[in-house]
Amino acid sequence: KQEVTQIPAALSVPEGENLVLNCSFTDSAIYNLQWFRQDPGKGLTSLLLIQSSQREQTSGRLNASLDKSSGRSTLYIAASQPGDSATYLCALRMIKAAGNKLTFGGGTRVLVKP
Amino acid sequence: KAGVTQTPRYLIKTRGQQVTLSCSPISGHRSVSWYQQTPGQGLQFLFEYFSETQRNKGNFPGRFSGRQFSNSRSEMNVSTLELGDSALYLCASSPTVGGNHGYTFGSGTRLTVV
C-alpha cells in the first residue's frame, strides 16, 4: 500500500527565506505527482504537475523535483512572502490504482512571518 | 474558462437527515472524483465517475453514493447523516481517465452535521 509522508507537518519562516517542502512515498510506480496549495477552509489549487518521466518542473518562484528511485519529491519556494502562508499537499497517481484516484500526503502547514 | 463549481458552499444538517452535493466539472472534462477532508483523516478518496459510470470507489459505507449525468455534472449523496460526516467535501475534474492529466479541484462544500 502506498504511503505518502510530508515532513515537517508545520513550518514557520521569516519573509524572504526560501522554503523547502518534502514529500516521501514508498511505491515509485506512479504516473505523476502533483503539488497543491490549500488556504484555510478552501479547495485545492494546483501548483505543479510532474510526470513520472520528468525530473523537475518550474513555475515562477516555484520549483518541484522528483526522484522516483529514492521516493522523494521536493517543492522549493524562493523568496517566501506572507501570501505563501498555506498548507501544501503532494498527491500521487499510482499505476496500480484504478482510474484517476490520487493518494495524498498529510500536508505541510506553512507560516511566513512578515 | 470556468473552473470546477461546487454547490452549495456550506450546509448544516441534522443527524439522520440526508444531503446532496453538486459538482460541475470544467467544460470538456469527463472525469469527476470526490474526496472527503477531515482534520483527523486528511484527504480520503470517495469515488470517481467517468461517462456516467462509477469507475472506482473508496472505503466508505454505503450511505455515501454518487452519480454522474450525461453533461458530466456529478452529485454525491449521503444518507442517514452522522456527526462524523462533518467535513469538507471536494470535487475534482480531469479530462479523461488514465493518461498523465492532473486534477483541478473545486472550492468544496463544508458540511456540518449537528
Residue A25 to residues A18, A66, A104, A109, B92, Cα–Cα distance (Å): 23, 11, 10, 19, 22
CB contact under 8 A, B48 and A32: no
| Per-residue pLDDT at A98 | 67
CB contact under 8 A, B55 and A99: yes
| Per-residue pLDDT at A100 | 72
B21 neighbourhood in chain A, CB within 8 Å: none
- Average pLDDT rounded to a whole number, residues B39-51: 92
Q: Tell me: pLDDT of A43 over 90.
A: yes
By CB neighbour count within 10 A (0-12 exposed, 13-18 middle, 19+ buried), where does B22 fall? middle
Which sign does the torsion angle of CA A77, A80, A83, A87 carry?
A: positive
Put simply, whether A82 touches B (Cβ < 8 Å) is: no
> Which residue in A45, A79, A78, A43 sits closest to A64, CA to CA?
A78
SS3 category, B61: coil
DSSP string covering B8-48, please?
-SEEEE-TT--EEEEEEPPTT--EEEEEEEETTTEEEEEEE
- Average pLDDT rounded to a whole number, residues A52-80: 96
B1: pLDDT confidence band, cut at 50, 70 and 90? low
Cα gap B71→B85, rounded to integer Å: 28
